[in-house]
Structures are given as C-alpha cells and as structure tokens.
Structure 1
C-alpha cells in the first residue's frame, strides 16, 4: 500500500518565452488551436479596478448556448455546412458527458470528432482509431469526420454512409454547448429553434487581494536566477494558488500547508483577479490577449500581467486534434505572462492522459 501511495501521476508542463513582436511567435497558434475553454482568469498586479478598455472587451464577449437532445446528424446537413462551417468558426462540445466513461462528441472548425465506447464504435461501422488511453484490447475509439471533405457533400458515398450510420444504424443524441464567432450570420438561437436551446451569459467575477506577496519576474529569465528572478515553473504554481484563493503566506515548516510564495518576492498593495466562466472560444481569448498587450501603453507600477485558460476536463481533444483523456483530473490549461516590453512566457500543462503540448 505504501509504495502505491508514493506513485505520483505523470503530468507535463511546457514553458517557453518569446516576444509578441517576433515574426515567428507562436502565441496566436497556441490560442487558436486550444478549442474548448471553460474558464479564463486575468491577474493584474498593482490594480484595484479593471481598466475601461479591458472591461469593455470582457463585457462585450457575448454569450454561448446550450441545446438539449441534438442529434449528431444535424451537423451533416448541407444547410448547416453552408451557414456555419463555411462562414466562420463554429464550436460544439457534448455537455455533461464523461470522456472516460460516456460517448462524447465535439465540433471544431471543419471537423466532427467522436469518442465512443467499443459497442457504439462497432454499431456505427465508421472508420476510426483506437483510443490511446483505453488499454488493450481497445475499449474506446476516436472517429474524426472532415465536414469540409468534398466526399461529404449530399449524394457522395462517404456522406451517405456517415449519414446512414448516425440517423438509422446508431442515432446518437447529446446535449451540446455551442458557440459561434460570426455575428453577421444567422444566430445559433434561430437555427436550432426546433430544439430546446438556451442562450447563456458568461459568468464574470472579480476580487481584489490586499498586501499580496508576489514573485519577482524578469522576462529574460524563464528558468529563474537565484536572488534576482523566479522561474516560470515556480510562478505557474503560485499563479494556480492565487487563482484558487489559496493562502501563500505560510512558513515552509508549517504542518497545515508548507506552500509559500517563491523567492525573491515583493509585497503588492492590491492585486485584481477577474475570472470569466463559460464556453469561451479562442477568438475571445485572443481579444483578451491583445487587450492585455495594450495594457502597458500607459505607465504601470507592475511590469507584468497574466492570463490563465482552463480547458474542459472532458473534451475529447486538447490542442489541435490531440486526443485528451481524463485519468485523475483531465487537466489541460495554459497561461501567458505578458511583460511590459512585449515579451511573454507561455506555460502549457496537461495531465496523465494527454500528449505533450505543441
């Protein structure tokens, strides 16, 4: 029993530094290919009130939708393809499904992804691949359908096979979270009106911490420098604690909690934490990143701000089309530390059942 308790689940944290001004900077790619986000937290040191421009972006993020009992074959129709797939960035994620136990589905720009159990996979009869995390023999399979493939046009053999599988052979119905980033086209609310669909506002909360010890950061010191700067890894742990309102003013010898702010650190008079919760698309996150870059257009007491993004624990994919699993907690998240000189740190973390972030 003791040896089992000593085994720590594997996790990955990838840290890199660059500049938004660098022509080969990958910051936009990382944001755009992490499709399913449930929470964004913004931390502003030496700030008691959200700046007007940032507040305007947050308040203008719009809404997302929940639709009940939506059949998967609705994503295959020519009308859906013409209205949504071809004209913007449409996202859907099955709601209240567990990726390690239930059938799950997701729509990312141009593709439908299914994560299904062995019985469902065999009943569907569609081409797929064994899940990386279901053991041998495989008890789960991943099916990816390219909705932009010319063979998926009505009348095509591939379309007929997929449509028959999802309408007659094994009809699959889910509750879905839906999001759409093209306000000029017909809305989700009207298109799915024959189903039980509800518009949901984002939940926004703010808090201000007084006299908070904060790590000293230097943009060029990703791995830290003793006595001068904390490392990206140390900062990532501290940021997680602050975002969850965990007390960091402990002694290393404390029995209850030995976690404390890494050295070197400074005392910050007030720190603003704003958290946005809902089905948040990459476009909205990119807008927040751009606004935080402009935050330093006027002189500030702090030299950095941060933005942390949490992915859904039960989404079938994390970055790009990498399969995502649950295991202990389903972690898949990333954070930006944005410095006043346009440098940034990017930290990407995943749990046991996930591939290395790109």
Structure 2
C-alpha cells in the first residue's frame, strides 16, 4: 500500500457544549460566521415523517443565482455598491474554480472582496496582499482583501482598485450569488446571463436504524458513550446509506455502530443542496429546537452543515485551503432540554475553527 494511503491527513475538530437558552451560547455566531454552505443533512430519529413546520422552513430557503462570465470589477460600480454590497446579506462565490489551482473570488456579507490568486495574477494585479498561509515550500498563492464598503467613489484608492480589476487584470468568472433581503439583484443582473435556482430538497425514511446512545454533556465519550469522532463517522455512514450491521457482504470492509446503541424503528434523513445562506440555517435551527415541544418527539436530532470545499474562507474571514479533502463543516446535536453539542471540523489546510 502507498505510504500516503496508510496515513490519514491531519484534521482539526473543535467540540463545544452549551444550552440554547444560555446567555453565553454562541450557536448563532458560529452559524453566521460559516458563510458558504453547499449541503445540509438533517437526521431525526424516531420520526416516520418530517414535521410540517420544518418542511415549510426548508421550502422557504432563499433562491440563488448562477451567473456566467461576470466581471469582478462590476462589484465596484456605484449601483452594485449601494444596492447590494453595502446593504449586507450578500454572498458571492466564484463557480467551477479550484482553490488549490485557480484564482478564486468571494464577496462576504461584511462587504469584503476576497481574491485568492495564483502568483502570476497577483503580480500583474498590483494590489497589496499577503502570501497564502498554505503555500508550503514555494509561495504559489496570494490573498488580496478589499473592503468594498469603505471605498469612496472618486478617491485615489477607489480608482486604483478599479484600474487593477478593470484594466490590469480584468478578472471574469462564473459566480453563485445569494442575497436574502436584496430585492434589487434580479434587476442588476438583467444585463447578464444567469439562472435562478432553488436549493434541492430530498427526504427519506430509514428503517431499523442502529443509533449510538448520546448524552448532552459527555463530549469525550468518557462515560461509556461514543466519542465525537465515532459519532461523526457514524453520521457519515448513515448519510451515505451504508449499513451498520457489520456484515461482510463483500470482503472489503465492515462497519458497526458504536456502542452502547439502540435500535430505532424509523428515522428521517433529509438533505438540502445548493448555496444555502447562514440566515436560512439559523431559521431552521430555531424551528428544530421548537420541535421538541411536540408530543412523542425524539430524544435528539442532528443538523450537519457542509461548507464549500473551494471557498477561500471557512469561518469568518479565516483562510480556507485545500490539500486532500477541502472539508469544513459543523454538526449540531440538539437534545430535548435545549442542551446541544457542536462539532466543528476542518482539514489540515485551515486554522482552528473558532
């Protein structure tokens, strides 16, 4: 076996426990800081159907726009700055670009324009930046950050940025946009080629599911409960429809649910894919907590949110890199008494999650 396959790449996992009602809880802050999300997995044990209120929240998720051949300098036009960027709540991410090879562009709701550039593009652009934190032996990538909200039209700084993006290096790429409260976006895109998409929703009922027993304040698995790593591994197995009965149908591998465990007659596994805003995830998490108030409810539910692998940022403006997996995700486990466990994970090419 290749030496690279014998050793798993380093990963970072941060665990947090709290209560949603606590004044010190940071659950909403963590959700809002994780800006570019491409998939949600919702697992609800002991339910044969998805609660109607949850389905309604998901169906009201914001649409997103697939825009073709969009000039990055367009973000500096007065109508875009005033009607979209400076209002906040606007997310933009270049599409079909790879963070480890291509120039990747993003606009954060704070108004920051993030340019993750290859060496040649950075030198031609002429804007001040810094070497990527994950350049290894040679610096091959650079990161340029421009605060669009602070730009004042007509100033020397504005003209310099505009000159760099419009003439020196006229960056153009496909984009994905989402803007929950920006009604002017369709009008601004009327001169561009674009499609409007809705997040894709799929739900399935799992029968006779083996589930690990969980306790809200046993983060490390010290009291005979499974560890965070074991639980996240089990979640991944369930989400990919892999059986957990440890029977070797082929002789490649087997998997068993961590112990102690229980057999659940039915469970709902729901996935949502597309560019999903943090604000929509906050609404889903709020409604998920309220489901515990209904009779005959589950003991716990999990909500896992996967970040875009090729986003230039992970949490907040922290740089995101890509070596082998590009993973950056978080998972809430919510309990009846409003306690929760939060697992935040990234690969080796990221700083530690907040």
Q: CA deviation at 1:234?
A: 1.8
| Contact 1:41–1:276, Cα closer than 8 Å, also in 2 | yes
Q: CA deviation at 1:340?
A: 0.7
Aligned to 1:355: 351
TM-score by length of 2: 0.96
Q: CA deviation at 1:301?
A: 4.3
Alpha-carbon displacement from aligned partner over 1:305-324 (angstroms, at most 9, x marks no partner): 01000001101110111111
Q: Which runs of 5+ in 1 are unaligned?
A: none
Q: CA deviation at 1:300?
A: 3.1
Aligned to 2:215: 218
| Contact 2:84–2:185, Cα closer than 8 Å, also in 1 | no
Aligned to 1:75: 75
Q: Alpha carbons of 1:3 and 1:174: their partners in 2 closer, same or farther (altered >3 Å)?
A: closer
Task: Indicate yes or no: 2:300 matched with 1:272.
Answer: no
Aligned to 1:247: 243
Select which of 222, 225, 230 maps to 1:234: 230
Task: Indicate yes or no: 2:312 matched with 1:316.
Answer: yes
Q: CA deviation at 1:256?
A: 2.8
| Contact 1:78–1:153, Cα closer than 8 Å, also in 2 | no
Q: Which runs of 5+ in 2 are unaligned?
A: none
Alpha-carbon displacement from aligned partner over 1:156-194 (angstroms, at most 9, x marks no partner): 111110000001111000100000010xx4342221110
Aligned to 1:19: 19
Select which of 324, 330, 347 maps to 1:334: 330
Whole-angstrom distance in 2 between the partners of 1:309 and 1:186: 26
| Contact 2:301–2:333, Cα closer than 8 Å, also in 1 | yes
Aligned to 1:156: 155
Whole-angstrom distance in 1 between the partners of 2:119 and 2:318: 20
| Contact 1:94–1:105, Cα closer than 8 Å, also in 2 | yes
Q: Alpha carbons of 1:215 and 1:160: their partners in 2 closer, same or farther (altered >3 Å)?
A: same
Write out aligned runs for 1:130-145 (5 A).
130-145=131-146
Whole-angstrom distance in 2 between the partners of 1:21 and 1:49: 27
| Contact 2:36–2:307, Cα closer than 8 Å, also in 1 | yes
TM-score by length of 1: 0.95
SS at match of 1:86: helix
Aligned to 2:55: 55
Aligned to 1:295: 291
Q: CA deviation at 1:43?
A: 0.6
Count of matched residue positions in the alignment of Structure 1 and Structure 2: 353
Task: Indicate yes or no: 2:192 matched with 1:195.
Answer: yes
Q: Alpha carbons of 1:8 and 1:230: their partners in 2 closer, same or farther (altered >3 Å)?
A: closer
Aligned to 1:118: 119
Whole-angstrom distance in 1 between the partners of 2:8 and 2:170: 40
Aligned to 1:104: 104
| Contact 1:42–1:274, Cα closer than 8 Å, also in 2 | yes
Whole-angstrom distance in 2 between the partners of 1:130 and 1:300: 55
CA RMSD, aligned part only? 1.6
Which stretch of structure 1 is more off in the superposition, 342-351 or 243-252?
Answer: 243-252
Task: Indicate yes or no: 2:281 matched with 1:285.
Answer: yes
